[in-house]
Amino acid sequence: MPIDDRVLYSVLTERLGLKSSVFLIDQNLDQKRILEIVGDFFEGELAIVEIDRDILPDGVFKLLTEAEVKLNNQLWTLHKNDNDPFPSNPHAHNYATGVKLDLSNGWTYRKRKCAGKIKAKDLLEIREKFQEKLDGKGIDLPVLVE
């Protein structure tokens, strides 16, 4: 989906809390960061491409993804041996929005700042989907708390 430059500048300016798009030049934004900032504004993925072979050069660090689940067009990822046990161990990442999900209570965080809470029904569904993928792998989800 092509995005008009003016719309992109406007969204970035608003999301970053800048007074003018002129200040975007000082933000040192790469493509990945721009997509993190504006991705959820355009409601859903801008694009997902699946390739059936590894195209990354040797030596590129790769995350050990233990499980991925999709709920309502949102992809949640759980990593084996995540370096940061906050907010729960394990927890889920939504890279399109930059949000972490506490799998014990449904609270979401962006950079350790509370971003809200998902519905209990959705938390239970995400947990169920993760549990199906984790069965037999020796990884337990955190205990549910209210």
CA 146/CA 42 separation, integer angstroms: 32
Q: Are residues 73 and 129 in the same domain?
A: yes
CA 121/CA 123 separation, integer angstroms: 6
Contact indicator for 92, 103 with CB cutoff of 8 Å: yes
Report, in this order, helix, strand and coil percent for the chain, each rounded to 5: 30, 20, 50
In a domain, 58, yes or no: no
CA 28/CA 120 separation, integer angstroms: 38
The answer on pLDDT for 4 being more than 80 is no
The domain in which residue 37 lies consists of: 5-42
Q: Are residues 74 and 31 in the same domain?
A: no
Q: How far is CA 100 from the centre of its chain?
A: 7
Q: Higher pLDDT residue, 90 or 64?
A: 90
Q: Are residues 80 and 114 in the same domain?
A: yes
pLDDT of 46 reads 45
One-letter identity of residue 14: E
One-letter identity of residue 12: L
In a domain, 52, yes or no: no
What does the radius of gyration of the chain's CA atoms come to, in whole angstroms? Answer: 17
In a domain, 145, yes or no: no
Contact indicator for 134, 141 with CB cutoff of 8 Å: yes
Q: Higher pLDDT residue, 110 or 105?
A: 105
For 111-121, the pLDDT digits (tens) are 889 999 999 99
